[in-house]
Amino acid sequence: MIINLFFLQVSYRELFENVRGKKILDNPDGHNAAVILTTPSFARDLENADIMGQFAKLMAGSADLGKFHVLSAVVDHLAAPTGSLRSHQGVSVLRGHLDHMLPHLWQPLPPKSKDDADSVSALTFSLGDPSVTLPLARTTFHNSRPSTLLTSEFDLAHSVPRLTQQAEKHSQFVKVSLDHDIESLAHLDMWAPLMPLTQPRTVTESFGNIIRGIEVDGNTIPASTELEDIVNKLHKQNGPSGVLSGPVGVWAMVTPDPNASGALEEWFEEAPEPITALPDVEDIRETVEQTAQHLKLLYSHGGRLYKILSGGGGWGAKKGLLSLDPQRAHFSFSEEEEMQNFIQSMNGGGFTPEGSQIQFFMSAPALPENTAEPFTPGVVFGISGDVAVPEEADPIKGFIGQHFGALSNSAIYLSGQGLPGGKETKLSVPHSRVYSRESEVKMGAFENLAYELADVGTIALAGLKH
């Protein structure tokens, strides 16, 4: 659900009164645990036993529970539903049975490896076969913790809930219950707002995350040549237009050999034409929407997006190389996993195997607020970005149930079947989303404020100063 409140400071008493009694909080299945994602302004409140105890009591609903368990985390932003690119501050809640939703919640974890000493904590959400790992927000200046991931147990047998145990974690697995588990990453929807810079090209020479050569018009050229030409051209055009406010982020969509799939070959033929000039706002919207649909199709057939970290320059053997972001997981791999990845790369299973297709895209400049696929509420994770929001834009009003999710300022990490060259991949395109949508029948109509489920909801506290 979404609640918009306009207090100069949060009145939790008033917030609880606004929510208490809503059908969305009924708990007929006796769920005894909740995952609570909140934005940094509310980080300190997660350590307030009185506030969190009342929240636990609220989440317990009408069920007669002795204990209620809460996993609370601070994220960068909440994900808005209904196609909005805006992020929200507030609270997003997922409720379920402890042993199913939060297995081994109270089991101590091994300490972080030295390589992960500076990494923020993270949550991994299982949606069936695919999983999404969400890095948490940095909260040093909010509560003196590098990041915040807390487990709490409350005794509800008394008139006032009592905190009986609490612990801090650096990671936790969360099982999200859907009507039907998602079978693979190909069945997880994706939306990435990018604009095409080149046509799809065949990779002729690569090693690991380094691309040396691509084929253009039947000839092999250095991998960066064509890309450098178009990026330099766009930067020269930017002088009078001012569309680009900073460096251009460039991504590569790497797709398996199209000859292995008739659908892939057909989609490549229908790929959106590369831009030859910087578009205006309306053209950006149209280009992004067309390209996002194309990328979604490629993604469903094994295509993966990688950010270009460096390229061009140099001479001799280094001339024209392109380097893809090699990071595929939030936490570092073990030595055994690193060796397996190396062997896989040596056997032609790296980031860009020879014969695969590669196409280059640039991130869109600040997008109009309504440039997005018309999402319905569901489970959504993604990456934040700059939005050209109208000065007098009205916040969403009322309740929207059965919506859960959050955004990272940096990246999310996906794992599951159907990933060529590895079991994990990174998604870092600004404003990109991965999501699972509930059916319209189950979700009910927004206007009627229908709540068929009480398992998920978002309390978005828009416009708050805290």
* Alpha carbon separation from 74 to 10, 273, 335, 416 (Å, rounded): 17, 41, 30, 25
Q: Is the per-residue pLDDT at 15 higher than 70? A: no
198-224: b or e for each residue (b if 16 or more CB lie within 10 Å)? bebbbbbbbebbbbbbbeeeeeeebbb
Confidence grade of residue 220 (pLDDT, cut at 50, 70, 90): very high
Nearest to 34 by CA among 21, 43, 45, 25: 25
Please report which helix (H) or strand (E) contains residue 362, including its range: strand 357-363
At 376-398, the pLDDT tens digits run 678 899 999 876 544 444 444 44
At 75-120, the pLDDT tens digits run 999 887 756 777 777 788 899 999 999 999 999 988 888 888 889 9
At 47-80, the pLDDT tens digits run 999 999 999 998 898 889 999 999 999 999 988 7
383-404: b or e for each residue (b if 16 or more CB lie within 10 Å)? bbbebeeeeeeeebeebbbbbb
**Beta carbons of 253 and 295 less than 8 angstroms apart:** yes
The H-assigned helical ranges of 159-306 are 225-241, 262-269, 281-300
- Dihedral angle, C-alpha 382, 387, 389, 394, nearest 10 °: 10
Q: Is the per-residue pLDDT at 444 higher than 50? A: no
* DSSP tag of 198: S
At 293-341, the pLDDT tens digits run 889 888 888 889 999 998 766 555 667 899 999 988 888 876 676 666 6
Put simply, whether the predicted model's pTM sits higher than 0.85 gets the answer: yes
The edge-to-edge listing of strands for the beta sheet with 424-427 is: 171-175, 122-126, 131-135, 412-415, 424-427
At 233-262, the pLDDT tens digits run 888 877 655 566 667 799 999 987 766 656
Average pLDDT value for residue range 349-367: 84
Rounded Cα distance between 156 and 33, Å, is 12
Nearest to 369 by CA among 463, 261, 288, 454: 288
Judging by DSSP bridges, how do beta strands 210-216 and 322-324 pair with one another?
antiparallel
At 276-296, the pLDDT tens digits run 888 777 788 888 888 998 898
124 DSSP β-pair partners: 133, 173
Confidence grade of residue 418 (pLDDT, cut at 50, 70, 90): low
Nearest to 55 by CA among 83, 29, 16, 109: 16
For the chain, domain boundaries: 12-184+435-460, 194-363
Q: What's the confidence (pLDDT) of residue 401?
A: 66
Q: Is the per-residue pLDDT at 405 higher than 50? A: yes
Q: What's the confidence (pLDDT) of residue 46?
A: 93
